[in-house]
Amino acid sequence: MAPMSYLDRRAPAPRHPAVPLPRPGRRARRPWPAQIAALLLGALPLAAMAAGTLVRITTNFGAFTIELENERAPLTTANFLRYVHEGHYTGTIFHRVVPGFVIQGGGLTPHFAQKPVREPVVNESGNGLVNVRGTVGLARTGAPHSGDAQFFVNLADNTDLNPLPTRWGYAVFGRVVEGMDVVDRIGMLVTGPMGPLKSDVPQRQVLIEKAELLGGSESNDQAGRGANAGAAPGGAASGAATPAGDTPAGQP
């Protein structure tokens, strides 16, 4: 099927070329069974996976807080928390802003280098959670099980990102419970081309200064040790596997 138009806001827009793609002739990498088992069987302690886990994202435009849907999206939330505990998001940017659609970030540095990521996570878009304003979803390429560290916040009700019987959707794993005004402020920034990206880049850089689990330093320390102990082998390296000029369709 031909890629959907980048300007068609009824459907997910293509992902930026900076996202790693499989090399020609190779199948897209699927999540390792070991990773899935580790996430389900205790890579993170119960303290970090309690219902309603809160994560605060602090940016140079202000902070917003995400309440995670641990029960409805257990693999995706565990994956997100692991990146939080490892400090992956610190120093990354929101590299894509589409007014009335989404803000997306968590994968690129201020110089548009892609940070190394772990194995992708299984797509949990069939969990019953829908892409409405204020919800947080896992970004991916056109391959359904390709999500890793990048996430997006819905600026509007984006029902076309939800799954259908004939196709996968984009997995929702949380919602903004505080600081939606900050998200909206980011969502109204002037955008354009910058660096290797041809469009939708905020012309005022939006830096993630830190991402932190709320609920006490002890829980943070324990969760961090658990995440490191249960780390899955390998990781999808960035940049090197990206064919020049390739842009998959269907990416928020």
- Cβ pair 178, 67 in contact under 8 A: no
Question: pTM for the full model?
Answer: 0.71
Write down the pLDDT at residue 8. Answer: 38
Burial of 33 (0-12, 13-18, 19+ CB in 10 A): exposed
pLDDT tens profile 48-103:
444 579 999 999 999 999 999 999 999 999 999 999 999 999 999 999 999 999 99
- Cβ pair 93, 207 in contact under 8 A: yes
Helix (H, G, I), strand (E, B) or coil at 51: coil
CA geometry: angle at 35 spanning 34 and 36, to 5°?
Answer: 95
Q: How far is the C-alpha of 72 from the C-alpha of 138, rounded, in Å?
A: 14
Question: Could you state, in order of their start, the residue ranges of all structural domains in the chain?
Answer: 33-229
pLDDT of residue 126 exceeding 60: yes
Residue type, 97: V
- Among 29-33, 46-50, 119-123, the range with the most confident prediction by mean pLDDT is 119-123
Tokens for 172? 């929702």
pLDDT tens profile 187-223:
999 999 999 999 999 999 999 999 999 974 333 443 4
Write down the pLDDT at residue 233. Answer: 29
- Cβ pair 12, 160 in contact under 8 A: yes
The single-letter DSSP state of residue 202 is E
CA geometry: angle at 182 spanning 180 and 184, to 5°?
Answer: 70
CATH C-level class of 33-229:
mainly beta
Please, what is the angle between helix 74-85 and helix 33-41, to 10°?
Answer: 90
pLDDT of residue 251 exceeding 70: no
Q: How far is the C-alpha of 47 from the C-alpha of 104, rounded, in Å?
A: 28
Q: How far is the C-alpha of 155 from the C-alpha of 46, rounded, in Å?
A: 31
Percent of the chain's residues with pLDDT above 70 = 65
